[in-house]
Structure formats: C-alpha cells, structure tokens
Amino acid sequence: MSLREKYKKEIVKKMADKFGYKNLLAVPRLAKVVINSGVGRNAKDKNFIDGVVSSLERISGQKPISTKSKQSISAFKTRKGMIIGVAVTLRGRRMFDFTEKLINITFPRIRDFRGISAKQVDNHGNLAVGFKEHIAFPEIKADEVDNIHGLQICLSTTAKTYEEGLELFKLMGFPFKRE
C-alpha cells in the first residue's frame, strides 16, 4: 500500500479519533515538500552548480529552480544576480512518492543514522531534515559524483500545533528517536 493510500485509509481515521476532528477535511495533511541546496563558497564554480542542479533533478524527478542573490554583499563575495541556491517544490503524487522513498530507502542508507529528533518538528507541525551528503539517495551513484554537497528537505503540513504535526509524521512512518 502506498503512502497516499495509507494516509487516506488509516492515518485520517487515527488522527480524527485522537484529536477529535468532526470533519475529516480538518485532519492535518502533507501540503508540500521543498528540497533545497545552497551552493555556498562554490557560487562562482559553474560546474559545481550544474552538478547540484542535476543531482536535485535526479532526486526529485523535476527540474529545480535557481535562487539568485537580491543584492551584493562584499563580506560573502556575492554579486547581485549570482546563483546562490537551488530548490525544488513537490506537491501531489510526486510529493507522496518522494516522502515514501525518503522514509523507506533514504533514511536507512544514511551512515550512523539513529533516527530523527522530535525537536526537528516546529510549532506549526512542519518537519525540516538536513543531509550532509546527497549520496544517501538511491538515484545518485557514489562513483559518478565529483563534489559532495548537502541539502535540506522541508515537509510542510496543514497542522496547527507541534503535537498534531509530530503525530502525523509518526503515523506516516518517520523514524523518530526514542527520547
């Protein structure tokens, strides 16, 4: 059973029972998944930026957008219009497919992974997870990679509180640490 089907058949009922929602449409759901990566000190290296774009494209299954600096900052050696990051927003079926892959394949492939801290869920029920190495994803072949870069994944929900968001992620199957 896919994560989307599991959400519709099981998670909605469990959340409604636990939090006492009268309307099933009021149950928190996953709204979007944003995958982003900053290029940092390699902003002037065109090959590095192209590598980040292609790896995010492979990971997400859609073309990422480049974020450009809005102003020049001499301390960071950036000029206005310079590419400083790359981001992808996933919604709908791709979002559920990516989340399922994240839970079942990517997290087990991370070196020394002990689980996600419950503190990574914010007060509005959103989860942000950072990766130091993008090679944890199955689409990236470790021997083809020239430069290893990090990335951040933000899972945005319609939850109103921390407790609702945490319960939603636990029911989806995210591996949280026992604290």
pLDDT tens digit string along 55-110? 888 888 899 988 887 787 777 777 787 777 889 999 988 998 888 888 888 888 88
3-17, 23-37, 130-144: least confident range: 130-144
Domains and CATH numbers, the chain: 3-171 (3.30.1440.10)
Structure tokens at 98: 């990516």
Q: What is the pLDDT of residues 106-161, one digit of tens each?
A: 888 887 778 888 888 888 889 998 888 777 777 777 667 777 777 899 999 998 88
pTM above 0.75, yes or no: yes
